[in-house]
Structure formats: structure tokens, C-alpha cells
Amino acid sequence: MTLSTENLFYSKRLKITPPRAEDVQTMLQWNEDPEYLRNVDTDIAIPYSEKQLEDEGETKDKEVYFRLRTREDEQLIGFVVIHSIEWNNRCGQLAIGIGLAENRNKGYGTEALNLILRYAFHELNLDRVGLDVIAYNAKGIRAYEKVGFQLEGRARSAVYRDGKRYDRLWMGILRPEWEAQNQIHVEGGQA
């Protein structure tokens, strides 16, 4: 088996890091953006308190949580997490958020997805990663599809926002699908 020489925590422009105390003030600003709050969760858009943000990402057995930073200047731009991990089934769920609107639509989401999927498949040894997304989040869906996620299911009229009903979509990707898309070559039958 040949181990990858790529840094598990770096992509071209981004890196994944543990939470830092100074992140909380930046994340409090994200809470002021209803688009961010409404795309990151299907629950009621309620800003997190400073204490809740301080506790976010504490080590748990069934999740790995990272903050997204730019490599160039270490600017905090978002978070990414693999949660609800079922170690026996080698699968988990993904959640991602790019905080400020000025950092969206720059390809960071797609780059971060590939970075966390590489970590999930090659370090956590998962075989499947799933997620759910609200149907109105077209940009998120495009990013998920771009890295290889496929639509697996739909809960019709499951989210209610601004007097309208929206479907909740379930998407997933399997390790061989992601590796084929990223031309990962496996030597000796192992990655």
C-alpha cells in the first residue's frame, strides 16, 4: 500500500482545522444572515448564542467537526462536519456552511466538499456519505452534484418557509463513485 503524500487537511485554497476561541466573534456575524441560517438547517432560523458557538465542535464519538479556513490568510469562512457516523456500517452524514455571503459563489463549497470527502473516505474509512438539503438551495445542490452526490430521495413539502412549502432532498455518494470522479488509483486493492 502506498500512502498518499497529500496533506489530509489541505486543498489548494482551503484547510480544515479544529475550532479556535477567536472563531466565535466571526460566527456571530454569520448568525445575522438569514440566508445562511435557512440554508444550513431545516429547523427554525435562530442565531446561536456565544456559549453555543463556543461549545460547537466539541469532540464526539459519532462526528468529526472542522472549521474551514483559507490557506493564504487563515480567514475563517465556514464549517464542515461528518456527523451521525455509524462505524459498523461505515457511513455518515455531511453538513457544511459557508458563513458570509462575500465568501459564497467562489468555489469554496465544492473545494471544501472534496476535502472533507477525501478525509471521510481515506481517513475515517467510510464507504458512504449522505446529506439532506432543502430544494430551494439550488447553489448547494449544484455543488453537491458537482462532486458526485446523487439524489436518493425526497420528502415532499417537508419544509415551511415564508408561507411556502419546499421538498427536503436526500443525497448520497459512495466511496468508489467519488474516487472514480477524482481519478483516485488504488494500489494493491487498498486506498
Q: What pLDDT, on the 0 to 100 scale, is given for residue 4? A: 57
Could you report the per-residue pLDDT of 122-138, keeping only the tens digit for each?
Answer: 999 999 999 999 999 99
Q: What pLDDT, on the 0 to 100 scale, is given for residue 115? A: 97
Q: Which residues of the chain have pLDDT under 70?
A: 1-5, 59, 184-191
- Phi–psi pair at 93, nearest 5 degrees: -110, 145
pTM (2 decimals)? 0.88
Q: What pLDDT, on the 0 to 100 scale, is given for residue 13? A: 96
Q: What pLDDT, on the 0 to 100 scale, is given for residue 184? A: 63
All structural domains of the chain:
14-181 (3.40.630.30)
- Sign of the CA dihedral with 178 first, then 184, 186, and 191 last: negative
Q: What pLDDT, on the 0 to 100 scale, is given for residue 141? A: 97
Q: What pLDDT, on the 0 to 100 scale, is given for residue 53? A: 86
Q: Within its chain, how far is the Cα of 183 from the centroid?
A: 21
